[in-house]
Amino acid sequence: MGSLEKQVVLITGACGDIGKATALAFAKHGACLALNDLVSESGADALVSEVRRLGAEAMYFSGDVSNRKAVDHLVSSTVDKFGGIDVCIGNAGIVQPSAFLDTSEENWNKHLSVNLNGCFHVGQAAAKTMVSTGRPGKIVFISSWVQDVPWENLTAYCVAKSGLKMLAQCMALELASHNITVNLVAPGFVNAGLSGRLFKENPGLIDQAVKMVPLGYLMSAADVAAAVEMLCSPAAAYMTGATLLVDGGNSLFLRAKNS
Ligand SMILES: NC(=O)c1ccc[n+]([C@@H]2O[C@H](COP(=O)([O-])OP(=O)(O)OC[C@H]3O[C@@H](n4cnc5c(N)ncnc54)[C@H](O)[C@@H]3O)[C@@H](O)[C@H]2O)c1
């Protein structure tokens, strides 16, 4: 994927497991990385150093993707530093499991603000820059297999990811004439990041999850990063509005109650 050399790649939620794996994958291709997360600049030092050690340029911008002003600042700072944006990866996300009857308005709003609004903000701001600079672009959102499969105790998360799928499809439709593609990666059970932490808290869940995966093992953050890379490579030139489902086949199962 030599075509990514010197391409400007913006990644939100870059200090998390999937964000970091993605940043390192793009760094190996010599991309210029604009990295965002909530943590302070010093909290991102290790990631920025690792990216630079791989020979890539990197800048870190702390900011909340659910805040439009913060996202506009992130995008304009990226343009000031690197001259434009070629690839935008909306990855920042949260999960706070809650049974539907117990789901608070705060829990609901938080999922939509970060997981859905955050991608709207960064996707729109990046697309405006791509259009105004006349650069073709690639936008990839990290969704989840639950964008299409309702899942217990995850109503707000599932709804946000389902909305994200439609956001990507609408963007793909309107941005195609600007030579911008918009696609989603839908991972399954990742043994890292959000679900990795849930697995650590409840080790019994790992066995249950593995039983649901026809390939017989959980995926890694690097597997997600590889799918993002693929969507940003020439192999995906004719893909837009599409979901790349990377779940080891687990959405092929209908889970039996209490299995
Ligand atoms: N881990 C999984 O099993 C899994 C499965 C499917 C999809 N995903 C998706 O992958 C993405 C990355 O998740 P992860 O598993 O690496 O989790 P993670 O917690 O390791 O990383 C998420 C990162 O997003 C950052 N973040 C949270 N809120 C933010 C905000 N408002 N603004 C900016 N940054 C913010 C966090 O600080 C964190 O560094 C998420 O969108 C998640 O929904 C994860």
CB 137 near ligand 1, within 6 Å: no
Q: Which atom of ligand 1 is nearest to the CA of 15?
A: 39
CB 163 near ligand 1, within 6 Å: no
Ligand 1 centroid to residue 117 C-alpha, Å: 14
Q: Which atom of ligand 1 is nearest to the CA of 113?
A: 31
CB 64 near ligand 1, within 6 Å: yes
Q: Is 217 an annotated catalytic residue? A: no
Q: Which atom of ligand 1 is nearest to the CA of 90?
A: 41
Residue 138 has pLDDT above 80, yes or no: yes
Tens of pLDDT, residue by residue over 63-81, are: 999 999 999 999 999 999 9
Q: Identify the active-site residue in 60, 157, 217, 238.
A: 157
Ligand 1 centroid to residue 194 C-alpha, Å: 6
Question: For atom 29 of ligand 1, which residue has the closest CA?
Answer: 92
Question: For atom 30 of ligand 1, which residue has the closest CA?
Answer: 64
Instruction: Name beta bridge partners: 87.
Output: 9, 138
Q: Which residues contact 140 (CB under 8 A, 6 or more apart)?
A: 87, 88, 89, 90, 182, 183, 184, 185, 228, 231, 232
Q: Which atom of ligand 1 is nearest to the CA of 224?
A: 10
Question: Looking at residues 147-173, what average pLDDT do you find?
Answer: 97
Q: Give Cα separations from 47 to 4, 15, 22, 71, 126 (angstroms).
A: 20, 7, 11, 20, 23
Confidence band for 1, pLDDT divided at 50, 70 and 90: very low
Ligand 1 centroid to residue 134 C-alpha, Å: 30
Confidence band for 4, pLDDT divided at 50, 70 and 90: confident
For residues 83 and 17, give the distance between their C-alpha atoms in angstroms, rounded to a whole number. Answer: 28
As a whole number, the mean pLDDT across the chain is 95
CB 114 near ligand 1, within 6 Å: yes
Q: What are the φ/ψ torsions at residue 113 (nearest 5 degrees)? A: -65, -45
Domains of the chain, each with CATH number or no CATH = 2-252 (3.40.50.720)
25 contacts 4 by C-beta, under 8 angstroms = no
CB 144 near ligand 1, within 6 Å: yes
Nearest in space to 185 (alpha carbons), one of 153, 223, 150: 223
Residue 255 has pLDDT above 80, yes or no: no
Confidence band for 5, pLDDT divided at 50, 70 and 90: confident
Other C-beta atoms closer than 10 Å to the C-beta of 239 total: 16
Nearest in space to 36 (alpha carbons), one of 80, 72, 86: 72
For residues 84 and 106, give the distance between their C-alpha atoms in angstroms, rounded to a whole number. Answer: 36
In the chain, the N- to C-terminal Cα span, in Å, equals 42
